[in-house]
């Protein structure tokens, strides 16, 4: 008889089953990793936007406001009043030339960041808008941003806004976005 080297059908099926189990474990872990990366990336972008608004207020010696606005109004560039909902709106930064707290024709739009992905939530315990005076200090109510990824499997992440106008990424928190 000849000696044939190779795998039997049973050995091959067992190897495929083991690979399938390992792949399932790896993919389930990557979902949490993707949620964590998405949360962290958005909050770090928000932190950069807040730092930009603070810097612009100090360099231009003007009042600068960061707030959420309705996406359709942002696209039309009309009637962009600050909303209370940070989850379902774009966040804009503008110079408030007439100091009325709302974006209008006299104001300058400086930056806009995208909305959250569907299902993710963002809450802010402070005011509906963040107002920076010419020294870069926040003159509205400060608080913390809490980002909750969709599905709730990933941990919530937080960004704290100080009265000085600085934003501090605090990472994982046990709070939720209710």
* Residue at 28 is within a domain: no
Domain assignment present for 26: no
Q: How many domains does the chain have?
A: 1
Query: For residues 124 and 111, what is the distance between their CA atoms, to the nearest angstrom?
Result: 19
* Residue 162 DSSP code: P
At residue 63, the pLDDT reads 93
Asked if residue 5 belongs to a domain, the reply is: no
Within-domain flag for 127? yes
Structure tokens at 113: 């960041």
Domain of 133 in residue numbering reads as: 33-173
CA distance 149 to 23: 23
pLDDT of 160 reads 94
Task: Give the Cα separation of 148 and 27 in Å (integer).
Answer: 21
The predicted structure's pLDDT at residue 78: 75
Task: Tell me if 160 sits within 8 A of 171, measured CB to CB.
Answer: no
The answer to whether residue 50 scores a pLDDT higher than 90 is yes
70 φ, ψ (degrees, to nearest 5): -60, 130
Q: What percent of the chain has pLDDT over 90?
A: 41
pLDDT at residue 58 above 90? yes
Query: What span, in angstroms and rounded, lies between the C-alpha atoms of 167 and 37?
Result: 19
Flag whether 19 is in a domain: no
Q: Give the residues across from 138 on adjacent strands.
A: 132
Residue 22 domain-assigned (yes or no): no
pLDDT band at 1 (very low <50, low <70, confident <90, very high): low
Percent pLDDT > 70 in the chain is 91
Give one DSSP letter per residue of 93-156, joined into a string.
EEE-TT-SSS--TTSEEEEEEPPPPTT-EEEESS-SSEEE-TTS-B-S---EEEEE-TTS-SPE
pLDDT given for residue 154 in this prediction: 58
pTM, two decimal places: 0.78
C-alpha span between 12 and 154 (Å, rounded)? 36
- Tell whether 43 is covered by a domain: yes
* CATH code: domain of residue 162: 3.55.40.10
User: CA-to-CA distance for 13 and 19, rounded, in angstroms?
Assistant: 10
Decide if 138 is inside a domain: yes
Query: Among 32-36, 99-103, 117-121, which stretch is predicted with the lowest mean pLDDT?
Result: 32-36
């Amino acid at each position: 008889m000849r000696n044939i080297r190779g795998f039997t059908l049973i050995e091959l099926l067992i190897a495929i089953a083991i690979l399938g189990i390992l792949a399932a474990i790896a993919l389930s872990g990557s979902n949490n990793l993707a949620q964590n990366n998405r949360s962290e990336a958005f909050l770090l972008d928000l932190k950069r936007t807040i730092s930009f608004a603070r810097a612009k207020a100090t360099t231009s010696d003007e009042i600068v406001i960061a707030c959420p606005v309705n996406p359709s109004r942002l696209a039309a560039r009309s009637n962009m009043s600050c909303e209370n909902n940070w989850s379902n709106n774009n966040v804009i930064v503008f110079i408030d030339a007439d100091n009325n707290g709302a974006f209008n024709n006299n104001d300058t739009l400086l930056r806009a960041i995208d909305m959250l992905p569907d299902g993710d939530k963002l809450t802010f315990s402070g005011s509906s808008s963040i107002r920076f005076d010419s020294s870069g200090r926040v003159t509205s109510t400060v608080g913390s941003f809490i980002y909750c990824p969709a599905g709730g499997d990933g941990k919530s992440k937080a960004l704290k806004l100080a009265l000085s106008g600085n934003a501090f990424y605090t990472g994982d928190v046990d709070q939720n976005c209710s």
